[in-house]
Chains A and B, each alone.
Chain A
């Protein structure tokens, strides 16, 4: 019984040695893969961060345009008392309110796209009849 176990142990160390040589390529592939994966992960996170900040800046810029437009026209119109202008003012106030309520700090906000579309829709409505009727900041930004 004991002799059989020794023979088996000897055989094991022999196979390990062969295994080591035969499996070298596979082992190096494996290690290379792990290194590459980790490196790719790091680069991906950096790239993602850059993309995120670019995209965030684009949205920020777009909404900034809408806010600038709305505040300017609100200022221009607030002295007017006629019915038509008061409707326009209401639309502008609604747009300003939506922009101020928008959660800039939270990219995981579940209604982000929906609220953004509502802001875009309100801007399109508010700009009809003004001199920038044909201008669309969402398209203009590269």
Chain B
């Protein structure tokens, strides 16, 4: 199966390399690559988490984490060291699994949300975990050396169901002009049914929402920072992807200082998707942006090289129109192997794709 770019002139291709019936008779909701890129975790409506590893050309199931949750598992996330897996479930809990030589064992269950947990994410520092829920709140947990988790903040900034949380990729953010203003400052982003994206950081020992990104006309489902953390992509039920940037006055770099960095939308990709866009993934290695859509398709976009940094344009370089038999829920770029993309769908399957970049770029 090959799919070329929309205008037919491009050299880009998205080729299927493997398809798995990962969560049979169920939906597969999310896939996440381990930090080394060697393993893929998937989770689904069958209440289980599965871990897949490569065996030659194929992917085989190496572990089934089936005893952790009473309801659908909606998201999974690997810790930065790759030794832990967190799973967020509709049963209102988040399980933390530790990788052992025999498989995975559940070391802790985080409770507190009032209803379905929709997302979980580990911070780049490794010491914080964020969860969000249909109860409209975002929780931040701190983990210590003894694997003890403690809730350090409950943020009630959204007015509706919070769908996704994602951490800024850097542990520290700095201004380019003045190195002394480098602050150890972690940034968290959340997306919600209330059509907004909110950003949070720690101020005086407490976490606060310091800005709200408005512009989407419907539920925001997914978020992805670019590799440098200078830009944020969001995808929505309004069938657009928006790119946000905090660069001020043309200066590169994310300013995390006492002056308010203002985030604004610098690009909107509209007219490409015919249904809700459920997920967006920004490759750290190549800069390609992949989307998972309710029209069963996967699309890949690349930034035009000659555009100004503050006014980027993206071109559609690949469009696989029947990537799955049903809604595509998630896309994920392998962190170590450029061009390797995993996806999953309501049809219960996980698919692996090879993306070949257009030769003109």
Contacts and interface: CB of A to CB of B under 8 A. Distances in A.
B70 to A, nearest CB: 16
13 contacts: A84-B150, A87-B150, A94-B206, A121-B153, A124-B137, A124-B151, A124-B154, A125-B151, A125-B153, A128-B111, A129-B151, A133-B111, A133-B112
A31 interface: no
B129 to A, nearest CB: 13
Contacts of A136: 114
A27 interface: no
A125 B152 contact: yes
B155 interface: yes
B112 A117 contact: no
The residue among A84, A87, A94, A121 with the most chain B CB atoms within 10 A of its own CB is A121
B36 to A, nearest CB: 33
Nearest to A129: B150
A102 to B, nearest CB: 15
Interface string B182-213: 00000000000000000000000110000000
A124 B114 CA distance: 10
Interface string A104-142: 000000000000011011101100110001101000000
Interface in B319-353: none
A128 B156 contact: no
Contacts of B153: 121, 125
Contacts of B148: 84
A120 B150 contact: no
Interface string B247-286: 0000000000000000000000000000000000000000
Contacts of B111: 128, 133-134
Contacts of A128: 111-112, 150-151
Contact of A121 (B114, B150, B155): B155
Interface in B133-191: 137, 139, 148, 150-157
Contact of B156 (A87, A117, A133): A117
B171 to A, nearest CB: 22
Nearest to B208: A118
Contacts of A118: 156
A110 B156 CA distance: 17
A77 B151 CA distance: 18
B156 A120 contact: yes
Nearest to B135: A124
Contacts of B155: 121
B73 to A, nearest CB: 22
Given A94-B206, A133-B112, A136-B114, A121 B152 contact: no
A121 B156 CA distance: 6
Nearest to B114: A136
Nearest to A119: B156
Contacts of B151: 124-125, 128-129
> What are the 3 A-B residue pairs with the smallest beta carbon separation, nearest first?
A121-B154, A117-B156, A124-B154
Nearest to A134: B111
A84 B150 CA distance: 9
Contacts of A125: 139, 151-154
A118 B156 CA distance: 7
Nearest to B157: A117
Given A90-B205, A136-B114, 8 more contacts: A87-B150, A117-B156, A117-B157, A118-B156, A124-B112, A124-B154, A125-B151, A128-B112
A30 B66 CA distance: 73
Contacts of A117: 156-157
Contacts of A120: 154, 156
Contacts of B205: 90
A135 B231 CA distance: 40
Nearest to B137: A121
B150 A122 contact: no
A122 B208 CA distance: 12
Interface string A74-109: 000000000010010010001000000000000000
A29 B183 CA distance: 72
Contacts of A90: 205
